[in-house]
Amino acid sequence: MASVQSDSLTHGRAAVHDTQSPTASAELRSSRRRRTGHLKDVPASRELREKIRDCCRQLVTRLDRNRGFSKDELEAVARKALEYLELPEGYLGWAMVVLSSEFWREQVAAVPAERRLLLLPHCLKHAEGCPADYDQFGLECEKCGACSIADFRQQAEELGYKVLVAEGSPIVLKIIISGYVDAVVGVACLNVLEKSIDNVLLAGIPCMAVPLLSSDCRNTSVDEDWVRDMIHVEKQVSAEYAPTYLHLLRFAKQLFEPAELNRLVPQLRNKPKHAGSGAEFEMSGSSPENEDRLALHTDPIAVTETLAQEFLAKGGKYARPFITLAAYDAMVGAKGATSEGAERLAEVPDSVRRVALSIETFHKASLVHDDIEDDDDFRYGEPTLHRTYGLPTAVNVGDYMIGLGYRLVSRDASELGYEVANDILDRLADAHLRLSEGQGAELLWRDANNKQITPLDALKIYALKTAPAFEAALLCGIRCAGPVVDREVPLKKFAKHLGIAFQILNDLKDWQGDQDNKLSAGLDTLGGRPTVLWALALESLSEQNREELCRLLDSPVDAAAKIARVRQIYHNAGVFEKAHLLVDKYQERAERIADEIEPESLRRLLYYLVDSVLERPATVEMEIFNPTFPT
Ligand code: SF4
C-alpha cells in the first residue's frame, strides 16, 4: 500500500495529546460512553484486514511511544486511519485492536518469551469433538490437532511462553499483577478485547492481540499466520517505553504478602506454638477447624492480632493502597511508571508504605463491620468473619483494625514529619467519621418502617459512604510527597463524583451477583439497603406499584420470587437505564475535574482511576436490555 502521507493521520494523536486543551480532552473522554455494538464489524476479506493493519503499522511509527495510550486516544487515531482508508466506522473496534497491538509490538518484543503469556479463547476449539476438560486455569488441551489451539500452544511453549486457554481480562490482570509474566499476547473476540483494553491497556501492560473473525462463541476462527507472527515476535531492546502502572499494581499487592506485611506490621503478640503443647481455649461461634487453628496460640490475647492480620492479607484488589502509592509516585517524578519502576519503587520509604497499608486497614475494618450490619454470608468468596468466628469476635477484630490503621501512621510520625503525620491522621479520622455517618444513615433507613427515599438522599448517603476512602487514599499519597495546596478542593470533588459513580455501578452489579464477594444477586434489596435504584423506582412508579414494591420487602414469598418481581418492576420503571445515566453523569464530572489537574502524571492517574474503578462488565450492560438475564 502507498505510504501514509497525510499529517492528518497523526493529527488525532496530536490533538488528544494536547493536554493543555481541556476542551479537546474533555470531548474525547466523553466519547467512550455509548453502545458499541455497531463498531465491532470484522473486515470480511483478508485483503481489507491487511490494508488496515499496514496503515496502523505505518501510523505507529509516527507516534511517541514513550507516552501512554488512553482508550480515547486510541480511538481518535483509529478513526483517522479509517478516514484515510475511506472505510466505515463499523471497523473501529477492529482498527483499535490492530493499532494497539502495533503500538505495543516493540515493548512486547522487549520482554523475553518466558515472561510472556499467550491467552487463547476456548471457543477456537472444535466444539463437537474436543476431548479436553476444564480445570481451574481453563481448557486443558489434549493436542488432538482438530483445531489450531494445539499448534499455537506448542509453538508458544517451545519458546518458553506460559499458555492459558481461558476467557476474560480479569484473570490476565491477576496473573500479571502476581508477577508471573510481564506481557500478554492473545486471541479473543472484539467484545472481550473491548473490555481487555480497559483492564490491560490502560494499566500500561504490554499486550498484543489478534481478533477472532467472529464473536459467535463457538467454532470460531482467526487469521492463523497473524497469531504465529505475534507469538514469534522477535526479542529486541525497546528504546521506547510507555508509562505503566504494572509496577505500582504489583507493589501495592506485595505489601500484603506475608513477609512484607510482617515486616511492616510486626506482630507483637502472636507467638505460635506447636500443636499439642496445651493452653487451648474456646470461642463462642467458632467452628471446629477454627478452634484448631486458634488453639495454636498459647496466649488468647494474641488471637485478635492474628485474625486481623489474616483478614488484612485476604483477597481484594488493593485498589486503595494502589491509589495512595500511585499518587505519591505521581508527585515525586512518576519513576514507578517507568521501565525501572520495580527498582525505583524499592526506594519508597517504609513510612509511605505504612500509610498505604493504613488505608487498606481502615477499608478492611469497614468491611468486617459492614458484613455484620448487613448480615452478609460471604466476603471474598468465603464465609464472612462473623459467620466464621461469631459476631462479638468479628466486631472486635474490626475495632482492632481501626486502631491498627491509626497506629501505622502515628508511629511513623518522625519519619513522615510530624506535620505530615498530623495531616494524614486528620484526613483518616475525617474519612472514618463521614463513612460512619453514611453507614448510620443507611442503617436507620433500613430499620425504619417508612421506605420512602429520594434519589438525592440516596446519593448523599453514597457520597458519605464511598467517597471518603478514595479521597483519603489520594490525598494521603499526595501529602506524603508534599503539601496538597490548591489541589485539595478539586480532588475532594473528584473523589466524591468517582465514589458516587462507583457505588451506583456496584448497585447495578448487585443484580448480577458479585462473584468476588456476595455470590448472589439482589442481596441489597433483600437486605433493605436504601439504594439509588430503589429511590429511582419510587420516583417513577405509580402509587400502586410503589406500594407493591414496599410490601415486597416484608412479604413472606421466597427470596428468588421476590428478586424476580423487583427486577421486573425496576425494568418497567426504567431504573437500570436511569442508574447508568447517573453513572455517566458523575463519571463526566470526575473527568472534567481531572482535565484541569496538574502535574500530568497525577492527571493520568485520575483518568486511569475513572476508567478502571468505573469499568462496566458486559453483563451489567446486558442487564439494561435483557430483563430475564440470569441471576
Ligand atoms: S486441539 Fe486441543 S482444544 Fe483443539 S479440539 Fe483438540 S483437544 Fe480440543
Which of 242, 259, 287 represents a domain boundary (last residue)? 242
Domain count, the chain: 2
Residues 164, 32 within the same domain: yes
The answer to whether position 136 is within a domain reads: yes
The answer to whether position 602 is within a domain reads: no
Measured in Å, residue 175 CA sits from the centre of ligand 1 at: 24
Residues 258, 146 within the same domain: no
Q: How many other CB atoms sit within 10 Å of the CB of residue 478?
A: 21
Which of 242, 257, 282 represents a domain boundary (last residue)? 242
Cell 517505553 appears where? 241
Residues 175, 296 within the same domain: no
Q: Where are the alpha helices (DSSP H) in 164-237?
A: 169-178, 190-196, 224-231
Pocket test for ligand 1, best of 141, 148, 187 (most atoms within 8 A of CB): 141
What rounded mean pLDDT belongs to the chain? Answer: 84
pTM assigned to the model: 0.79
Residue nearest to atom 6 of ligand 1 (CA): 144
Residues 41, 187 within the same domain: yes
The answer to whether position 460 is within a domain reads: no
Give the C-alpha separation, 293 to 272, whole Å.
10
Contact 240, 102 (CB under 8 A): no
**Cβ of 143 less than 6 Å from ligand 1:** yes
DSSP 8-state code for residue 41: P
Count of CA atoms in the C-beta half-sphere (13 A) of 120: 31
**Cβ of 521 less than 6 Å from ligand 1:** no
Q: How many other CB atoms sit within 10 Å of the CB of residue 46?
A: 12
The answer to whether position 500 is within a domain reads: no
Residues 231, 258 within the same domain: no
- Mean pLDDT along residues 178-207: 82
Residues 120, 29 within the same domain: yes
Least confident of 40-44, 62-66, 625-629: 625-629
Give the C-alpha separation, 285 to 272, whole Å.
22
The whole domain housing 20 covers 8-242
DSSP 8-state code for residue 541: S
**pLDDT recorded at residue 15:** 39
Residues 165, 272 within the same domain: no
Residues 105, 226 within the same domain: yes
The cell numbers describing 374, all together, are 448487613
- Mean pLDDT along residues 43-64: 93
Q: How many other CB atoms sit within 10 Å of the CB of residue 551?
A: 10
Q: Counting atoms of ligand 1 from 1, which one is nearest the CA of 141?
A: 2
The cell numbers describing 204, all together, are 500500561
**Cβ of 134 less than 6 Å from ligand 1:** no
Residues 151, 291 within the same domain: no
Question: Could you tell me the pLDDT band of residue 240, with boundaries at 50, 70 and 90?
Answer: low
The answer to whether position 551 is within a domain reads: no
The answer to whether position 419 is within a domain reads: no
- Mean pLDDT along residues 221-240: 85
Residues 390, 333 within the same domain: yes
Measured in Å, residue 132 CA sits from the centre of ligand 1 at: 6
Residues 333, 233 within the same domain: no
**Cβ of 130 less than 6 Å from ligand 1:** yes
Residue nearest to atom 2 of ligand 1 (CA): 141
The answer to whether position 525 is within a domain reads: no
- Mean pLDDT along residues 137-155: 88
**Cβ of 120 less than 6 Å from ligand 1:** no
Distant-in-sequence, close-in-space partners of 439: CB < 8 Å, separation ≥ 6? 366, 369, 370, 373, 465
The answer to whether position 121 is within a domain reads: yes
Residue nearest to atom 8 of ligand 1 (CA): 130
Residues 171, 281 within the same domain: no
Cα torsion 277, 282, 288, 293: sign: negative
Which of 208, 242, 276 represents a domain boundary (last residue)? 242
Pocket test for ligand 1, best of 118, 124, 125, 128 (most atoms within 8 A of CB): 125
DSSP 8-state code for residue 43: P
Q: Cis omega before residue 599 (within 30°)?
A: yes
pLDDT tens figures, 501-517:
999 998 998 887 544 44
